[in-house]
């Protein structure tokens, strides 16, 4: 009788443990799917405003002034969405860029082979001794899976190259002094080399 009672108590405890684990597993699996941030509004006006502000700031740098470029989540998300559409990229949907606590957080949905999974990439930016910005992926995942290091390295190198090309081509070699990210805004302080 005692063994039956112990087996029954053990069975109840295992059931409770499995129920608890399954609830947490579901929460972990779908946590990245449910939005934790307010969606960023996407508009062609915001993308155009960003381009205009960048041109204005760069022309100020040509006159020898230090520049301050402030970019919002809406501007970045709109510009990135427009760029994806113009390039014909159709695997990434619902792209969102959030700027929080020193990080740029890129989220969206990736579709391939009939499967759609949530994408999340968190980046930080640093400035080297020559005043060139560099990105570093802090975390990257597709669905419940972490992105491989080789893929994260590729993202970082492509973003770094794009940043350097933009600064050298359009701004006659700007030197970046700082990049600050907080409360939905990214502020870049730079000067002409």
Record the pTM: 0.70
Given a contact cutoff of 8 angstroms between Cβ atoms, the answer to whether 157 and 171 are in contact is no
As to burial, measured by CB atoms within 10 angstroms (0-12 exposed, 13-18 middle, 19+ buried), residue 75 is buried
Same domain for 3 and 63?
A: no
For 100, residues 6+ apart whose C-beta sits below 8 A from its C-beta are 181, 182, 183, 184
- 180 is a domain residue: yes
Same domain for 26 and 52?
A: no
Same domain for 135 and 188?
A: yes
Q: Which domain holds residue 13?
A: 1-31
Q: How far is residue 25 CA from its own chain's centroid?
A: 24
Q: What is the pLDDT of residue 64?
A: 67
Kindly state the average pLDDT of the residues 129-153.
86
* pLDDT top residue among 101 and 49: 101
Q: How confident is the model over 28-55, as pLDDT tens digits?
A: 444 443 345 677 777 767 666 766 776 6
CA-based nearest residue to 145, from 113, 121, 112: 121
Same domain for 96 and 12?
A: no
Kindly state the average pLDDT of the residues 114-135.
89
Cα distance between residue 77 and residue 8, in whole Å: 56
Given a contact cutoff of 8 angstroms between Cβ atoms, the answer to whether 167 and 174 are in contact is yes
According to DSSP, the residues that pair with 124 across neighbouring strands are 136
- 39 is a domain residue: no
Q: What is the pLDDT of residue 47?
A: 62
Given a contact cutoff of 8 angstroms between Cβ atoms, the answer to whether 115 and 91 are in contact is no
- 20 is a domain residue: yes
Same domain for 59 and 97?
A: yes
Same domain for 65 and 119?
A: yes
Kindly state the average pLDDT of the residues 159-165.
69
Same domain for 92 and 158?
A: yes
Mean pLDDT of the chain: 74
For 189, residues 6+ apart whose C-beta sits below 8 A from its C-beta are 66, 67, 68, 176, 177, 178, 179, 180
Kindly state the average pLDDT of the residues 82-105.
87
Q: What is the pLDDT of residue 4?
A: 53
- 80 is a domain residue: yes
Kindly state the average pLDDT of the residues 174-190.
89
How many domains does the chain fold into? 2
Same domain for 105 and 164?
A: yes
Same domain for 15 and 95?
A: no
């Amino acid at each position: 009788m005692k063994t039956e009672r112990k087996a029954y108590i053990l069975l109840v405890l295992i059931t409770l443990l499995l129920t608890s684990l399954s609830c947490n597993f579901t929460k972990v699996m779908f946590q990245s799917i449910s939005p934790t941030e307010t969606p960023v509004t996407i508009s062609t006006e915001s993308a155009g405003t960003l381009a205009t502000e960048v041109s204005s700031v760069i022309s100020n740098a040509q006159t020898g002034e230090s520049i301050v470029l402030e970019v919002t989540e809406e501007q970045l998300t709109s510009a990135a969405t427009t760029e994806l559409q113009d390039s014909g990229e159709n695997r990434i949907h619902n792209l969102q860029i959030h700027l929080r606590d020193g990080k740029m957080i890129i989220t969206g949905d990736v579709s391939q082979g009939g499967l759609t999974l949530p994408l999340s990439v968190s980046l930080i930016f640093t400035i080297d001794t020559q005043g060139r910005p560099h990105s570093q992926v802090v975390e990257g995942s597709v669905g419940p899976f972490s992105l491989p290091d080789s893929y994260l390295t590729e993202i970082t190198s492509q973003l770094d190259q794009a940043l350097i090309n933009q600064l050298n081509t359009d701004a006659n070699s700007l030197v970046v002094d700082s990049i600050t990210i907080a409360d939905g805004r990214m502020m870049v302080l730079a000067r002409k080399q």
